[in-house]
Amino acid sequence: MDHDAADSPESQLIGGALQKNKEKAKLASPIHYVSKDDVPFLHIHGTKDQLVPFNQSVIFNQKLLKTGCNSTLITVQDGGHGGFKNDKIRTLSQKFFNKHLRGYQTKIHPLTIKE
């Protein structure tokens, strides 16, 4: 997918091509709204995602961590856009929700797993 194309989802969101509407694109990007008070984030992203570039999750995760937010990136090596079948992903997701919604004492570490 060409994310810079005038008919890309991002361009449709802001009402025109990204390269011609840089200020609108900036205003639509969540990376510019990160604060230390944000809720915890769990990113699960495939390295071969053809809809959302993998590096966007890497950059967003780094920004959250730099700001002091709780953020964990799970990299799915050779994974696409969702539909992951690896049981570790379900287990890690449950641990994340148990920790942040139920107050369980557990650690979740960033890692790379195979699809």
DSSP code string of 35-73: -TTPPPEEEEEETT-SSS-HHHHHHHHHHHHHHT--EEE
d(CA 65, CA 59): 10
Residues 39 and 28 in one domain: no
Q: Which residues have C-beta within 8 Å of that of residue 4, sequence separation ≥ 6?
A: 11, 17, 18, 19
Residues 91 and 110 in one domain: yes
pTM for the structure as a whole: 0.86
**Count: domains in the chain:** 2
Residues 103 and 56 in one domain: yes
Domain containing 17 equals 1-33
Report the 10 Å Cβ neighbour count for 64.
Answer: 23
Summarised one tens digit per residue, pLDDT across range 57-96 is: 999 999 999 999 999 999 999 999 998 989 999 999 999 9
Residues 93 and 50 in one domain: yes
Residues 51 and 69 in one domain: yes
